Chain A
Amino acid sequence: MENWAIGLEAVADPTVLLLIVAGVLIGIVVGALPGISATVGVAILLPFTFVMEPLQGMMLLLGIYGGAVYAGSIPAILVRAPGTPASAASVADGNALTRKGQAERALKISVLASCLGGIFGVIVLALMAPALASIALGFGPAAYFMLALLALTVVASVSEGRMVKGLISGVIGIGIAMIGLDTIQGFPRLTFGSADLTAGINYIPVMIGLFAVSEAFMQFESKAKLKLDVATEKFKASLKWLARISPSGLLGSVIGFIIGVIPGTGGDIGSFVAYNEAKRAARDKSKFGRGDERGLAAAEAAKNSGTAGAMVPMLTLGIPGDVTSAVLIGAITVHGLQPGPNLFSGAPDLVYGIFIGFLVVYLVLLILGWLGSGLWSKLIERVPSSYLWPSVIVLAVIGCYSLRSSAFDVLIMLISAVVGYVLAKAGFPLAPLIIGMILGPIAEAGFRRAMIIEGDLSWIFSPLPLVLLILTLLSVGFAIWREFAHHGSLSETIGMDNTVPPTGATPVVTADGPSGEQGAAGSVDSEKPAPSRSSGQSDS
């Protein structure tokens, strides 16, 4: 308790509080711009913290971290352009809500779930950090492989109703991730002697191209036919609404935190896994992927809860949980402090100041984000689409270039945009491609490292990998069962995929949707193919 008092005293300083607010504001700007991630924002401002007190510097950087991870979802929800990879899981449901004219509602869910997820994560971090450190260490290569397999089953969930196309999309993603030097032997694969390909294809330009720019193409195409400006509904938060989204938010917070604790995985996959589990837990799944508030809440809560999770190995072991916390370590070491067990006894004011300060970060973010969400949704409402979409493309180009100062990344982004356009037209879900790109290398490296260490497959039967394997099998079994339950037989499902009506088909609006949503949802969905959905809805 004494340590908490020391921490509280350290944070209750006007300078510290000012830095928190500044950090959160910078973070929101950094996160909302595609291609400029939380890591870049933190790294750029890191040198400025060298002249500050350790806690002051950490507060500025944690403000940026929390703010950027939250704000990545603003463009994801408004224009399908995830600002950071962790927000990719929020594109489907968040943007579907925007298209129904419920942008403000989606943004409010996003800010609430992000901040409550973050606060949940920080509390668990503060109470259990040393105990949780052993989880991070117990995670060997074999467990990484199995975790990646488990996370890959998310593909089945996000492509329900068009399973074959989803799997193809996932395999394409894994294939793209194989380009470049392989992670184990440094052997160049599929590089055709090109130096750019040898460096590998980063998934961020691919993500920006697939989601944001291909969407801009679609908008240009449909503009002639449709009036796109959907009237934005006013949104008032209610207790009933809060009760509806909190269970998924809590589930997302727990999952996001645990995955955040495991070094090197981080929020990028945590949000997808949380989305998947929220969908599995829901009784009525028909709206997932088309504007379900619960799916959005789970994904949003998971990504910010993961920021606190990533601090566990960083503070207790000196091992970064994700790339951003790797930079944060630098902010501590520069003051002559070493993260690790000794930090808790040696600098309690810093450690407990970080806990309390990180809580304050999320409270500040909640206030700023809540006030701001009305503003951001107006942005999308007021800017004519003839300005909006070209701006998205310009930002995408700049963001991709700034990532590695590489024109090649811009080319990759543009190619991905065309590929994304074609795939979406043909009814392929795009999220599995990104999931495959993120998880493929983790799975491959984990498997090969485990094989090098053990020399044979005996690692499968160690406790942690075995548990994860069983969960994976259950997850796959569940997906197969759902396909059968919905369509009678698997062959029918596959048959249906082949007879998907091309673009322009009028989809059936969900039977349980509020009547007010129908018109907007219908007009929006007609620009995008909604293959094989109709049978899925009849029994919902």
Chain B
Amino acid sequence: MTTTRRRCAAAALAAAFVLAGCSGGDDGEGAEADGGSGSFPSQPINLIVPYAAGGSADSTARQLAAVAQDTCGAPIIIRNATGGSGAVGFQATLSSPADGYTVGSASIELTMLDHMGISEIHPDDYEGILQYSEQPIVFGVPADSPYQSLQDVIDSDDRVTVATSGTGGIYHLGYESMALAAGIDDRTVNVPFDGAASALQAALGDQTAMVSVGAAEMRPHIESGAIRPLAIAGDPVDYLPEDVPTLHELGIDSETTAILGLYAPAGVPQDRIELLNECFNEARESDQFSDYMETTGLNQRYRDAQEFDQFMGEEYDRFGELIDEIGMGVH
């Protein structure tokens, strides 16, 4: 009797163990070398997201993968490898076999980390598959701010604190780029927070004079009237008020957008890159994914594999100069 009970209890523990195994150690098989010829993909595709579960990189990748399972004809296993501003996940992707069975979720940080000495990633180390989203940075102020326009900020002599999502992140560099172009870089101060939500919280609580984050993140606060957008660092976005000027319209030569896309380690055969581009693009065009992007306010913007590679190369060079200019460079 006692033995039976003990066995039952041991079995319960074993069951718990198996459950943990399912949720945790789910890669491995995909790393096996593909048999060659045959049809690609013939085994599950690993998708490595370099940011935590729940963020825009993660949630869009999960949405896209949900549809792409069908369009690509293979299960897609997502895993989050986080840390080091994305460096951990990027390196995990780049060090995987270049067989097309491991793809990574790309963000603009992929072009920035090398210049800051965080992780040596050169555009030659990876191949773009596609870009699916583009999100311009928006500069906003609390509703009761004395600044009515970006020109007011430029014309004043004030020391202006700017909440960003973190030093070296795209929202920080985007504001530095704007400040340099507008000639106010000596009066503006970066106040780095942990992520866009905390930065917005600081501006909402009047802790900082300005906030620099992505349009989608700022959207709910613009709609509730708590934050006033002063300028867009990219093309106009349809859900923002029409009178919000772009930096170009203000005569400031600066443009910074956050992007989301997919990439693979360098060396993946070109035909596989094309197949991945096709099936993920088909998923991108699906109603399910489009609806999701629309409701979350993330702009869809497609670049094919070549265009994406070229864009990332150009951004890599631009950020190299910018990061050196603001004194964060290591090269």
Task: Enumerate chain A interface residues (CB-CB to B < 8 A).
Answer: 29-30, 32-33, 35-36, 39-40, 42-44, 46-47, 50, 136-141, 180-181, 183-186, 188, 195-196, 198-200, 202, 263-264, 313, 317-320, 323, 326-327, 330, 333-336, 338-342, 378-379, 382-384, 387-388, 391, 394-395, 398-399, 401-402, 404-406, 445, 449, 452-453, 455
Contact = CB atoms under 8 A, between A and B. Distances in A.
A449 B198 CA distance: 12
A383 B23 contact: no
A404 B85 contact: no
A319 B197 contact: yes
B219 interface: yes
Contacts of A202: 83
A261 to B, nearest CB: 12
B220 A264 contact: no
B200 interface: yes
Q: Kindly list the 9 A-B residue pairs having the minimum CB-CB distance in the complex, ordered from nearest.
A: A402-B24, A199-B83, A43-B53, A327-B54, A199-B84, A137-B205, A382-B9, A338-B220, A186-B167
Nearest to A318: B220
Given A404-B80, A404-B82, 5 more contacts: A138-B205, A319-B200, A327-B53, A401-B25, A452-B190
A136 B14 CA distance: 43
Interface of B: 5-6, 8-10, 12-14, 16-17, 19-21, 23-25, 27, 48, 52-55, 58-59, 62-63, 66, 79-85, 87-88, 91-92, 116-119, 159, 161, 166-168, 189-194, 197-198, 200-202, 204-205, 207-208, 219-221, 223-224, 226, 292, 295-296, 328
A382 B167 contact: no
B169 to A, nearest CB: 9
Contact of B16 (A336, A395, A453): A395
Contact of A334 (B13, B55, B292): B292
Contacts of A388: 13
Contacts of B16: 29, 32-33, 395
Which of B48, B83, B118 has the largest count of A CB atoms less than 10 A from its CB?
Answer: B83
A405 B27 contact: yes
Contacts, number: 195
Contact of A445 (B88, B194, B221): B194
B245 to A, nearest CB: 24
A44 B23 contact: yes
Given A181-B84, A184-B192, A405-B27, A137 B62 contact: no
Contact of A181 (B5, B19, B53, B85): B85
A394 B201 contact: no
B2 to A, nearest CB: 8
B24 A406 contact: no
Nearest to B119: A195
Nearest to A378: B9
B27 A46 contact: no
B220 A326 contact: no
Contact of A319 (B161, B201, B296): B201
Contact of B5 (A42, A196, A382, A395): A382
B18 to A, nearest CB: 10
B224 A340 contact: yes
A200 B118 CA distance: 12
Contacts of A455: 159
A181 to B, nearest CB: 7
Among A327, A399, A406, A449, residue most surrounded by chain B Cβ atoms (within 10 Å): A449
Contact of B20 (A395, A449, A452): A395
Given A263-B201, A319-B201, A402 B13 contact: no
Given A330-B54, A404-B83, A195 B91 contact: yes
B223 A342 contact: yes
Residue among A323, A394, A453 with most chain B CB within 10 A: A453
A186 B168 contact: yes
B206 to A, nearest CB: 8
A185 B118 CA distance: 12
A184 B223 CA distance: 30
Given A46-B59, A404-B81, A391 B205 contact: no
Given A199-B83, A330-B54, A398 B17 contact: yes
